[in-house]
Structure 1
């Protein structure tokens, strides 16, 4: 029995699940949907990965545990997912600088080739000083530097909206010219990734318009003009209704990649007018279950798919829940569950983000994952959660306290 705290701090005795579900690993890609799982990174426990630098100074460089980081990706490939690399889930721009992100992309490319897996990777301009103005030429050069790394590593580019570009250009025509050049240089059909000002204030006025409707029209024009070079788009945040409406306006052949972590099962299942594909971190902690559901969908059974993937809704909602900006710390739960699952040997994160979620939050993540039968070795998971709780001040049976 384990003494688990609930989110109100009350302790309850919990009997771990001793019978994991029998999931089958199948590394072949899904047939009916394109599903990209954004993967977190793991910090080097021997590095000085401090969260803050000196006053008015840059944060210290963050070092990764490369083997642990790549092991998470191999796990995703073993279930048929495409890995979405070097995005915000990998602490891009929030602990991971461009040189480290470039090394991550290269190493992922090598590991993908060895595993026979696929990956996509973020292309942005984060090597530029965010506090200084930059010319259009400088922004384009930054984009192209990153695009070259992704192309050479064998990845699919995910061209991310850039706050530096929003400062350097003003008109829809200028945006169209920049994106035309980048898409032409992409070795593979790219994803166009647009985070709205609600999440990134620096993207205000993107596509040359402050008005959201006009910006969306300009965005769709770029897509239509370069559809042969575009695999799909991700736009967030959008309500399910707004996502569906935008998806129906996309040029033929361009996918909409949902990042929704609430109603994602319904959006992926779709309706008589279409469906969403997916680019999301939501699949990383539920990879075996989600893969099973997606293969059911491959066989044409959307109703069973909804039921199978719906089982994970409580865990997904919990991992991404939180007031205000605490939702940004969903990565903590992803790495924690990877550790409990035995995929990695420790629970350390860059910028010390392993401390960003409460003990009750992580305990509930364990309970929900255990109840789903997600742990292939439930005894190991129970042992590790007990160790974690004991060192967090919640003595467990057999504790030496």
Structure 2
């Protein structure tokens, strides 16, 4: 599931804003970029905070704003909306939240319902929303906060992945730990992080049995070599990706014996062929992970010319200076940490249902980095379909993308 549309009417009593999110088919294996730019004061950051509030069902931001109505529509056409109801003196009486067939009236000044009779309605809205969005991940990056060096070690991020309802701050131990967890989890739940065109393994093997073709010993031996080379090319062992336990020598020995037979055993060749298909399928998953990790590593090393970045399952991300001294994250410059943070988010993105909203990504970054940033994030999130939302003033970041924020004057 992805975002399809956001709309707010009467923001600040001045503007109607709408965003039509470009939907990307999972088969296309690429991220979508939503660019929001315009003059100061029209509400770009506010729009991101409103989306964050809708995702969390936290309506504190809406209680503080002058607006009429806002909604967020998903790719399944379900919509969560909030409407502000005012009295004749234009004082907020209550907020009305609606999702699917459930509605609830909320207190205009503090967290909670307008009255106790609305509490059951609130429970219903939350239950429906939580069920539909349990696999959806949203993260809003407040770049100004990110830049404050004294927050690096215990930076509060607002991340929701299957926990969209209860508002609570989560402490991320470190970016290195985040990468380490990603390497571990993606080896167990590969389909969550990487899209693929490969047919299901069982279906593939079954098809080969039902529609047998001649199996070449030379071809089988070549595939054994290819699997071995894959481990080396993609640095499987160094990255800490689990290697398959298989006996290459024994397989080659069996094939050599069959090659000397006047009539090789079709049964043996079929079994070996199926076994290699299992190995190839598993290594395809491993190379998807390895490829993303190596791209991440290369891009960061291209950006950080006086440092060396290395990834492994044991340490997540290890950073060293030109003297080979270990550097911890809090010792990075503000811009370096900002870059590392954004690239780690891109690295850990899921196939679908991942939204990363970034307010003013250009802050603390040299113009040469700004020019390369978005392409770097797209490359790192390879074989996945995250939605990136950027609110920016930088022409260097926005230059190659259409402004997705459509603004009209609000008329009562």
TM-score (structure 2 length as normaliser): 0.27
Q: Which has the higher strand share?
A: 2
TM-score (structure 1 length as normaliser): 0.27
Q: Which has the higher contact order (CA 8 A, sep 6+)?
A: 2
Over alpha carbons, which structure has the higher Rg? 2
